[in-house]
Structure 1
Amino acid sequence: MLLVLSEEHKEHLEFLNKVDAAVVGEFGRIALEFLRRGINPKVYEGAARKLSVPVETVQRGVEGLMYLMTQSSKHMLSEADFVDSVLSLDFGEELNQSLLQMYRQHGSEIRRVLTLLPRPLPAYCNLRWRLDVQLASRSLRQQTAPSLSVVLQLTQGPGRPGAARVLQADPATLLHLLSILEGALAALKSTHARRVLRNVK
């Protein structure tokens, strides 16, 4: 399996071609540290001062490298597949070998860190609906059979498109769902629920 990198990601990693192998190694160390402990913007500022480049360039380079390593580790790419994936970046042989060495050394640790990270829950993005009404059929003479189709678009986080969920329900099911939600809202306004929420805070 090969890792397909977007043009934007390739642009972010292009900066690595303009710096020494030692700087690439330092970027790799920073990326791994960020995976373990979270991002620290002060590290970007310090690295940008040393290299005399804008902070955004360093940030994009480190985050691009972090993305490359996490995606490769997540998909458990073999060394040959990793090298073939990196070839699309048009790096020199020395830089390719440096990235491969980094992947060899830290791939299993990155996988372990990824298993500990909480997965982002899907969030609402968009909703489309359609009402279908069947006017007549052999089994339902002189009756209508309406049904509501809903397409719920979800995202997996900022800038990450999620899946679309298609839901269908008849009016009786929708009314039942509505009554349950209204009951839950009424329970939330009760004195007991307010007391519990106060204690939780």
Structure 2
Amino acid sequence: MLFSLKKNQREHLHLLHQRSAQDVVELCKSSFEYLNYGPNVQRYQQLANKYSTDVSTVQHAVEALIALLIDATKANATEIDLQRLTQEEGYSEDIVEVLTQFVHSKRNFVEGSIKSANIRAYRLINIEWRLEVRLATRSLLNQNSLRVTMKLYLHTEPKNENRDLLETGEQQPIHADEKRNRKDIIVQTDLNSLVHMIQVLENALDESKSRRVRNIVSAIH
């Protein structure tokens, strides 16, 4: 299956024309580290100083190499396909060899990541909660204990019942053949733990809006 570079990828990979094969090896390593740990701005600054360019140019090149790796994996590109593409882009033979080796050596990692991303994880489709307050007991008259009890309705597939719940405010009956995709969990927590849970979810939401996550999700899908 043939594939080609997008216009912005071609522009961002222009840095490779100006660098040696060893420099391209460094960029490929930075690309793989990006997939594992996220962007390393300090490392990009070091490379930018070495290449006499700016940080954004280095980071764009790294992201373009990630896109090349994922696109080549999705297209099941052969060594001949990669050599054809990179030669058409005008890279030297040494750089063509580096890019070809980079894609083939990391193919299994990308394939595994794509398969993991396609696992049907549970999604929250509804939640019920109540607040319980204990003001005192026989042994401690000045006690003030707060608990939040939540019932989480989870499903492995997007369901039309989401819209029904918003319209009717009632939980719709679940067919027997859907129970295997459904899980209901009751959770009880104190306010401090609840605040921590909310903070973790907000951080995850912020991370999902980052350039790194958007680029990876866009490439996978």
1:84 maps onto 2:84 in alignment: yes
Deviations 1:104-125 (A, max 9, x none): 2222223224434589xxxxxx
TM-aligned CA deviation for residue 7 of structure 1: 1.2
Measured in 1, the distance between the counterparts of 2:91 and 2:55 equals 22
1:179 maps onto 2:172 in alignment: no
- Would you say the 8 A contact 1:44–1:59 is kept in 2? yes
- Would you say the 8 A contact 2:28–2:65 is kept in 1? yes
TM-aligned CA deviation for residue 8 of structure 1: 1.1
* Residues 74 and 197 of structure 1, relative CA distance in 2, 3 Å threshold: farther
TM-aligned CA deviation for residue 78 of structure 1: 1.6
Deviations 1:134-164 (A, max 9, x none): xxxxxxxxxxxxxxxxxxxxxxxxxxxxxxx
TM-aligned CA deviation for residue 19 of structure 1: 0.5
**Which segments of structure 1 move beyond 3 Å, counting only runs of 4 or more?**
113-119, 176-179, 195-201
In the other structure, the counterpart of 2:24 is 24
Q: What is the aligned residue count?
A: 138
TM-aligned CA deviation for residue 200 of structure 1: 4.0
**Secondary structure of 1:5's partner?**
coil
Within a 5 Å distance, the mapping from 1:57-96 to structure 2 comes to: 57-96=57-96
- Would you say the 8 A contact 2:83–2:100 is kept in 1? yes
* Residues 96 and 177 of structure 1, relative CA distance in 2, 3 Å threshold: same
TM-aligned CA deviation for residue 93 of structure 1: 2.2
TM-aligned CA deviation for residue 103 of structure 1: 1.9
TM-score, reference length from structure 2:
0.53
Measured in 2, the distance between the counterparts of 1:197 and 1:77 equals 53
Within a 5 Å distance, the mapping from 1:36-115 to structure 2 comes to: 36-115=36-115
Superposition RMSD on alpha carbons, in Å? 3.1
**Secondary structure of 2:5's partner?**
coil
**Secondary structure of 2:76's partner?**
coil
**Secondary structure of 1:3's partner?**
coil
**Secondary structure of 1:53's partner?**
coil
* Residues 53 and 112 of structure 1, relative CA distance in 2, 3 Å threshold: same
In the other structure, the counterpart of 1:140 is none
TM-score, reference length from structure 1:
0.57
Gapped runs of 5+ residues in structure 2? 120-162, 172-187, 196-221
Measured in 1, the distance between the counterparts of 2:26 and 2:113 equals 19
In the other structure, the counterpart of 1:170 is none
* Residues 60 and 43 of structure 1, relative CA distance in 2, 3 Å threshold: same
TM-aligned CA deviation for residue 12 of structure 1: 0.5
- Would you say the 8 A contact 2:2–2:75 is kept in 1? no
- Would you say the 8 A contact 1:12–1:61 is kept in 2? yes
Letter in 2 for 1:12: H
In the other structure, the counterpart of 1:159 is none
Out of 5-14 and 76-85, give the one that drifted further.
76-85
